[in-house]
């Protein structure tokens, strides 16, 4: 080797940069994270978060964190996957798992929304607003359009997806033309969606549901039967799992394909890693910012549609205002390291947590359900914190290698 270069970069060296360089981009750092540790880092992050959550349980309530977690686990229904669970226990687990997966579906989609924007180097904090816009569109098409089953469902989904794309596209356009930072614009757009939807379905609002005696109900019309997504597992009357689940799985595949097998995905990734090189290479950077945000919003809008058409069937002011699904999507994407597989498992984790700690599932003698929901929030926050403190996790990881090498050196000395 005439160049004589070090084949393995030692952990002490700073990443190679040219003189006068600035810190690497967010996407570059996230990419660095992805490579180092692979699946270990997200696993470690989740374990860390649960560990700290367990300590909080112990310290604040004196309850045994392990039994608490066990109770939460049973509440998720994931024990249905174990073949040794039978009988009545199995039936309960099935019901629980359906609920968990019902929550997982929109989380996958909002997670994909955030992840796609991240791959282009952008923070889409507007998943909630895009979700809302999608949900509103789905309710409108679902309730006011009359047509047969398949076209109705397809139309509602398409309109919702496009609406979400357009909503995010506003932020993308602003970034592409005047360089407005997408964090600011998407948050603002969240609030616009929030209040517009609240007004639309509020008391006296233009789309409030009609009918005598409903004047004080701030909700929308219910979608027609022809717009509802068919349930494939469980009883529709008991909120079984609808085919939106397969739509979400399909979205995961589409995400992977777009990023890795299309020219659009190539452009998005190039701009995300290094906009300077992309620009010099002739790649239209501004156009990619817009497209990436639009696609990101499309996923979130689709999430709104699957919820409305799958089990909500109508929107009311309270649920619009209380919904956090777009924001949990951020944690999902971060933990899942912006990959399709990662987002799936991460969404499953959060969906399981949300369901397992809900009031109907948790035995109050083991753990007070209201506290359990806060526990979920704590764990969510910890995940985001630990992912954000990637330096910490990486330091711990490289410490392991350093210790191993020192042990090796001590042996040979």
Partner 1 sequence: MPDEPILELRGITKRFPGIVANDAIDFDLRRGEAHALLGENGAGKSTLMNVVFGLYQPDEGEIRIKGEPVTMRSPREAINHGIGMVHQHFMLVPVMTIAENIALANTPTHAGVLLDMDAAERRVADLSRTFHFALDPKARVENITVGQQQRVEILKALDRNADILILDEPTAVLTPQEARELFAILATLKQEGISIIFISHKLNEVLAIADRISVLRRGKIIDTVPREGATEEGLARMMVGREVLLRVEKAPSQAGDALLEVEGLTVRDDRGLAAVEDVSLSVRAGEIVGIAGVDGNGQTELIDALSGLRRAESGRIVLAGRDVTNRDARYVLDAGYGHVPEDRQRRGLVLDFSLAENIALHDYAEPPDSRFGWLFPGRLIARARRLLKEFDVRGGGPRTRAAALSGGNQQKVVLAREIGRDPRVLLAAQPTRGLDVGAIEFVHRRLVEERDEGRAILLVSLELDEILSLSDRILVIYEGRIVGEYGPDVSEEELGIAMTGGGRETEAA
For binding to partner 1 (CB under 8 A), which residues are involved? Answer: 1-8, 10, 12, 14-22, 28, 31-32, 260-267, 269-270, 273-274, 276-284, 405, 409
CB of 11 to partner 1, least distance (A): 10
Nearer to partner 1, 4 or 87 (CB): 4
- Distance between CA 188 and CA 195 in Å, rounded? 11
Nearer to partner 1, 194 or 266 (CB): 266
CB of 285 to partner 1, least distance (A): 10
Q: How far is CA 167 from CA 94, 129, 139, 373, 407, in A?
A: 37, 8, 17, 31, 56
Nearer to partner 1, 287 or 314 (CB): 287
Nearer to partner 1, 12 or 88 (CB): 12
Three-state DSSP state, 412: helix
Nearer to partner 1, 262 or 324 (CB): 262
- Distance between CA 392 and CA 337 in Å, rounded? 16
Nearer to partner 1, 322 or 409 (CB): 409
At 30, list the tokens: 């996230």
289: number of Cβ within 10 Å: 27
CB of 240 to partner 1, least distance (A): 37
CB of 249 to partner 1, least distance (A): 22
**CB burial readout 29-41, b (16+ within 10 A) else e:** ebbebbeebeeeb
Three-state DSSP state, 277: helix
Nearer to partner 1, 214 or 262 (CB): 262
- Distance between CA 304 and CA 403 in Å, rounded? 49
- Distance between CA 249 and CA 109 in Å, rounded? 9
Q: Which of 108, 131, 127, 115 is nearest to 352 (CA)?
A: 108
Nearer to partner 1, 13 or 146 (CB): 13
DSSP 147-162: --HHHHHHHHHHHHHH
Do residues 124 and 90 touch, judged by C-beta distance below 8 A? Answer: no
Nearer to partner 1, 4 or 62 (CB): 4
The residues, any chain, with a CB within 8 Å of residue 222's CB and separated by 6 or more, are 143, 209, 313, 314
CB of 31 to partner 1, least distance (A): 5
- Distance between CA 75 and CA 96 in Å, rounded? 6
CB of 2 to partner 1, least distance (A): 5
Nearer to partner 1, 88 or 407 (CB): 407
CB of 15 to partner 1, least distance (A): 8
CB of 254 to partner 1, least distance (A): 13
Beta bridge mates, 219: 316
CB of 5 to partner 1, least distance (A): 4
At 395, list the tokens: 């330091």
CB of 341 to partner 1, least distance (A): 19
DSSP 368-386: -HHHHHHHHHHHHHHHHHH
How many Å is the Cα radius of gyration of the chain? 23
Do residues 80 and 96 touch, judged by C-beta distance below 8 A? Answer: yes
Q: Which of 141, 146, 175, 143 is nearest to 158 (CA)?
A: 141
């Amino acid at each position: 080797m005439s160049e004589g270069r070090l084949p393995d970069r030692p952990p002490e060296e700073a990443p190679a940069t040219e003189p006068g360089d600035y810190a690497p981009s967010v996407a570059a750092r996230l990419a660095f994270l992805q490579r180092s540790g692979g699946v270990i880092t997200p696993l470690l992050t989740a374990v860390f978060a649960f560990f700290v959550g367990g300590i909080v349980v112990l310290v604040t309530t004196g309850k045994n964190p392990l039994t608490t977690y066990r109770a939460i686990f049973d509440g998720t229904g994931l024990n249905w996957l174990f073949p040794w669970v039978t009988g009545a226990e199995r039936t309960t687990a099935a019901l629980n798992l359906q609920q968990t997966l019902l929550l997982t579906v929109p989380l996958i989609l909002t997670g994909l929304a955030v992840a796609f924007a991240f791959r282009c180097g952008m923070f889409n904090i507007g998943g909630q607003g895009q979700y809302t816009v999608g949900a509103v569109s789905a309710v409108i098409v679902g309730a006011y359009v009359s047509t047969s089953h398949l076209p109705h469902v397809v139309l509602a989904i398409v309109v919702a997806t496009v609406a979400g794309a357009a909503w995010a596209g506003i932020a993308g356009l602003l970034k592409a033309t005047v360089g407005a930072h997408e964090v600011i614009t998407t948050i603002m757009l969240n609030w616009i969606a929030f209040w517009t939807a609240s007004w639309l379905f509020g008391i006296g609002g233009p789309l409030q549901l009609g009918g005598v005696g409903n004047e004080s109900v701030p909700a929308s019309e219910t979608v027609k039967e022809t717009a509802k997504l068919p349930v494939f597992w469980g009883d529709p009357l008991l909120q079984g799992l609808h085919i939106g689940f397969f739509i979400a799985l399909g979205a995961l595949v589409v995400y992977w394909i777009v990023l890795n097998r299309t020219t659009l995905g190539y452009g998005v990734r190039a701009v995300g890693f290094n906009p300077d090189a992309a620009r010099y290479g002739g790649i239209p950077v501004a156009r990619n910012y817009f497209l990436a945000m639009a696609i990101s919003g499309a996923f979130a809008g689709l999430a709104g549609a699957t919820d409305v058409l799958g089990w909500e069937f109508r929107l009311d002011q309270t649920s619009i205002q209380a919904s956090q699904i777009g924001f949990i999507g951020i944690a999902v994407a971060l933990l899942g390291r912006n990959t399709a597989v990662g987002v799936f498992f991460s969404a499953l984790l959060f969906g399981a947590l949300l369901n397992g700690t809900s009031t109907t599932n948790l035995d109050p003698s083991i753990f007070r359900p209201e506290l359990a929901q806060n526990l979920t929030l704590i764990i969510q926050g910890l995940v985001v914190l630990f992912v954000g403190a990637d330096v910490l996790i990486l330091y711990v990881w490289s410490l392991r290698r350093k210790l191993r090498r020192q042990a090796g050196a001590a042996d040979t000395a």
